Amino acid sequence: MDYILALDQGTTSSRAILFDRQGQVFASAQHEYPQHFPQPGWVEHDPLDIWHSQLACAREVLQQSETDAGQVAAIGIANQRETTVVWDRRTGQPLCHAIVWQDRRTAAICDALRAAGKAELIQRKTGLELDAYFSATKLQWLLTHVPGARIRAERGELAFGTVDSWLAWKLTGRHVTDVGNAARTMLFNINSLRWDEELLALFGVPASMLPEVVASSGQVGVTKEEWFGRAIPLAGIAGDQQAATFGQACHRRGMVKNTYGTGCFMLMHAGAAPPVSHNRLLSTVGWTIEGRTDYLLEGSVFMGGATVQWLRDGLGIIKQSAEVEALALSVPDSGGVMLVPAFAGLGAPHWDAYARGTIVGMTRGTTGAHIARAAVESIAYQSAELLGAMQKDAACAVHEVRADGGAARNDMLMQFQADLLGVPVIRPRVTETTALGAAYLAGLAVGFWASSEEIAAQWQLERRFEPQMPAARREQLMARWAKAVVHAKSWAEPGQV
């Protein structure tokens, strides 16, 4: 047994990576799949596209590396969180397209629940803000709007799950989710670590639809032989951000990582009890390993690397995402331009479903390069807001932030981030920490790695970005950012998405 196979199912692509015992990438494959935007504010995926792209990656990485399935000790899954899938238990066919975490169609449902005074109840039980981001209102919408769905669900014919559950079902035939993914549905009580009957009733969700909740590290089944030629244990499951936090070896209270992916997600290890946020951050389950559950404090930014994709696909000012750094560096600064990428509303700490993307400060001298630089800088501004809120909640100093994700390869972004945070940003040699975290969780379950301490010892620094900006300039820029955000807020009318 030479490798662990990580399935990293993301918002825009599926990846498969083989890791060796040193936690190094041995082979990888990646496939993009279609995005569907049927109405403004709606984002959907075809669950079969997710499955076929993920299976193709897994087979490709084994074939191209000439690795037999018998050399794979276990599989670990990391997945885009909150995305809501419903399928037929008998046929295994999706009921309809999945509603993606970015989708805002249920903002009005959240407004009604807030008006009914339910926000505090939801926050107390789940650690989450009442927002369309999470799965519960998406599932409620599907049961209401897909013909026959509610009747079929009440008969026990339909299964619900986030993407991890969908993949686990297809791979092994088991209907499971791990505690961390369950905690993102807004149906799971993070204090009792159980599905919550009061929340199920509030959202009108039949309990029969729900997956069994399992530990993040532990064998839950084996793959069907038809997929890889022989059975492989499925032994690790984690939402992408929990997986990245574990892969970054943030195993001790107070350690912080920030993932620069489609969105940006900053998480702090909060210890063995659910933290309470007074600054509109999320309290969430990290992982359960050998009976111990660790909790995290999280800030979520909806548009991170996706902002660069918009420059490419929407504006056409770059042809490939990797070109953005050179274009941004072709000007000394943004020329006073601020871009607030609230294309899908604003996440933490604002939680404004009706905010919209805004560019302010343009003059006749503004060029595509200035807009590109403002777009890159917007990623850092949003993340700086998160760390500020996190330090207030945790009441402890943060000494460094570990960075990962595709946009973490952008040196200009990493330096600007360190300048805005006022603490070093450190980038590991292996930036595929989401997949690595899933591999570590699976490997621990089957004895491929002996302990979390062994895993932490494998973490290696690639580059350290020290803050260079004077504090007065940092404060000035953050004040200008806050002014720009005001212009983006509450732009769409209630009832719109």
Residues tagged in the binding site annotation: 11-13, 15, 81-82, 133, 240-241, 262, 305, 309, 406, 410
Strand, coil or helix: what is 338?
strand
Binding positions for ATP: 11-13, 262, 305, 309, 406
Question: In the numeric block, which tokens belong to residue 409?
Answer: 């390869």
**Phi-psi category of residue 395: left, alpha or beta, with phi > 0 → left and psi -120 to 50 → alpha:** left
For residues 111 and 494, is the Cβ–Cβ distance under 8 A?
Answer: yes
Question: In the numeric block, which tokens belong to residue 88?
Answer: 């037929």
- How far separated are the first and last CA of the chain, in Å rounded? 50
For residues 146 and 95, is the Cβ–Cβ distance under 8 A?
Answer: yes
Question: In the numeric block, which tokens belong to residue 152?
Answer: 């079929």
Contacts 24+ apart (CB under 8 A), 25-33: 25/430, 25/432, 26/65, 26/67, 27/61, 27/64, 27/65, 27/67, 28/61, 28/432, 29/56, 29/57, 29/58, 29/60, 29/61, 29/64, 30/57, 31/56, 31/57
Task: Report residue 83: phi and psi, to 5°.
Answer: -60, 130
How many CA atoms lie within 13 Å of 382's alpha carbon, on the beta-carbon side? Answer: 34
**Would you give the DSSP letter of residue 36?**
B
CB count, 10 Å around CB of 221? 18
Radius of gyration, CA atoms only, the chain: 21
> In what helix (H) or strand (E) does residue 271 lie, and over which residues does it extend?
strand 264-271
Calpha distance 256→281 (Å, rounded): 14
Question: In the numeric block, which tokens belong to residue 229?
Answer: 């030629």
Calpha distance 411→260 (Å, rounded): 12
The number of angstroms, rounded, from the C-alpha of 438 to the middle of its chain's C-alpha atoms is 13
Binding positions for ADP: 11, 15, 262, 305, 406, 410
Question: In the numeric block, which tokens belong to residue 214?
Answer: 């399992």
Binding positions for sn-glycerol 3-phosphate: 11, 81-82, 133, 240
Calpha distance 154→336 (Å, rounded): 56
